[in-house]
Amino acid sequence: MITRESFAKEYTRFAKALTRRVKAYLRDPNAENVHRLRTATRRLQSAFALLPKATRNQNKAQKAMARIKKLMKVNASVRDQDIILSKLSEYKQNPAYERLIEDLRKSRKSHLEQAKELALSVQKDPGPRVKPRDLSDPILQRRYNKVVRKLGSKITSELPLVREDPSKVEGLHVVRRDCKQLRYVLEMSEFSRPPKPLATLRSWQDLLGTIRDHDVMIEYLQGLRRSAEILVALNIEIENRNKNYRKFVEVSRENPVSRIASKP
């Protein structure tokens, strides 16, 4: 169950968290702050999706969310570079990898310039403010149920496709994104004990995140000249990716998310 008081409290908390994360990011855009900013924006986007249609469609709200979405897109490149840099650091004693690390750091710096400008605009206007009196419990609950069913159905229809074909890189990424959004929406509800789908989503999200990191690194390595050093790293990534993919296939045999997708 979700109430206007609990939702307004959570929404305000997410908006304040985003402001804090933006400040930390602008002060020091290290890998951890990049990741935390992405999490804060995802949570606020998930909460925004539950607002009444009239509020979501306001011109000011649309512009604020468009800025956040654009920041997410630019910051995704920075995040991918952080993943690659972290993995390359395992081979940093080799001169060939040191050159790659240096080039990536330069590329990351250029992406950050654009991201910082967007972060400043988000800091000035993180989106609409929400107060309990502006909401209706029945309307909010209906919207919550609709979003949960839609995401649950989407995940349930996507799951068989990615479980049967490990090459569905983009499909796995989409499932991970939808799991993350559904998890954040479910966490805004009030419950005496966490529902089983919530624990499942967290488990899937962790494994899919690890697989995504492998895919980012594999794509990067495949774009380089195939030297002996690069082939070693590529083979290691592919082997580890396959192991984690098999784990995901195993843990996703049972799909409790389908239960919430079928609820009226």
209-220 pLDDT, tens digit each: 999 999 999 999
Q: How many CB atoms lie within 10 A of CB 155?
A: 25
pTM, 2 dp? 0.91
Q: What is the pLDDT of residue 99?
A: 85
CA–CA dist 260, 264 (Å, integer): 9
Q: What is the pLDDT of residue 72?
A: 92
| Sequential pLDDT tens for the chain (264 residues) | 899 999 999 999 999 999 999 999 999 999 999 999 999 999 999 999 999 998 899 999 999 999 999 999 989 999 999 999 999 988 767 777 888 999 999 999 988 988 898 899 898 888 888 999 989 999 999 999 999 999 999 999 999 999 999 999 999 999 999 999 999 999 998 777 777 888 899 999 999 999 999 999 999 999 998 888 899 899 999 999 999 999 999 999 999 988 877 666
CA–CA dist 146, 163 (Å, integer): 26
Q: What is the pLDDT of residue 98?
A: 85
Q: What is the pLDDT of residue 246?
A: 97
Q: What is the pLDDT of residue 65?
A: 92
The alpha carbon dihedral of 168, 181, 261, 259 has a sign of positive
> If 0-12 CB within 10 Å is exposed, 13-18 middle and 19+ buried, where does residue 12 land?
middle
> If 0-12 CB within 10 Å is exposed, 13-18 middle and 19+ buried, where does residue 190 land?
exposed
